[in-house]
Amino acid sequence: MAVEEAVAMKNKGNEAFKNKDWPAAIDFYTKAIELDDTQVSFYSNRAQANIKLEAYGYAIADATKAIEIDPEFVKAYYRRAVANTAILKHSDAIHDWKIVVRKNPADKVAKAQYEACQKLVKRAAFLKAIEIADPPSAAEGLDLENMVVEEAYDGVRLKDEMTQEFIDDMIERFKNGKKIHKKYVYQIILAVKDIVYNEPTMVETTVKPDQKLTVCGDTHGQYFDLLEIFRLNGLPTDTHAYLFNGDFVDRGSWSTEIALLLYAYKWLRPDKFFLNRGNHETDDMNRMYGFEGECKAKYNERVFKLFSESFSALPLATLIGDKYLTLHGGLFSDDNTSLDDIRKLNRHNQRQPGQSGLMMEMLWTDPQTAPGRGPSKRGVGLQFGPDVTKRFCEKNGLDAIIRSHEVRMEGYEEEHDGKCITVFSAPKYCDSTENKGAYINIESDLKLQFHKFDAVPHPDIKPMAYANNGMMSMMGM
Supply the residues annotated as catalytic. Answer: 280
Nearest residue to 143 via CA among 194, 181, 183? 183
Q: How far apart are CA 427 and CA 151, in angstroms?
A: 39
Contacts 24+ apart (CB under 8 A), 56-59: 56/83, 56/84, 56/86, 56/87, 56/377, 56/378, 56/379, 57/83, 57/87, 57/375, 57/376, 57/377, 57/378, 57/379, 57/380, 58/377, 59/83
Contact between 277 and 317 under an 8 Å Cβ cutoff? The reply is no
CA 124 vs. chain centroid, Å, equals: 21
The count of other CB atoms within 10 Å of the CB of residue 198 is: 9
Q: How far apart are CA 62 and CA 45, in angstroms?
A: 9
- DSSP letter assigned to residue 472: H
- DSSP letter assigned to residue 154: -
Q: How far apart are CA 271 and CA 268, in angstroms?
A: 9
Name the burial class of residue 93, with classes exposed (0-12), middle (13-18) and buried (19+) by CB atoms within 10 angstroms of its CB. buried
Torsion, Cα of 305, 86, 122, 250 (10° steps): -20
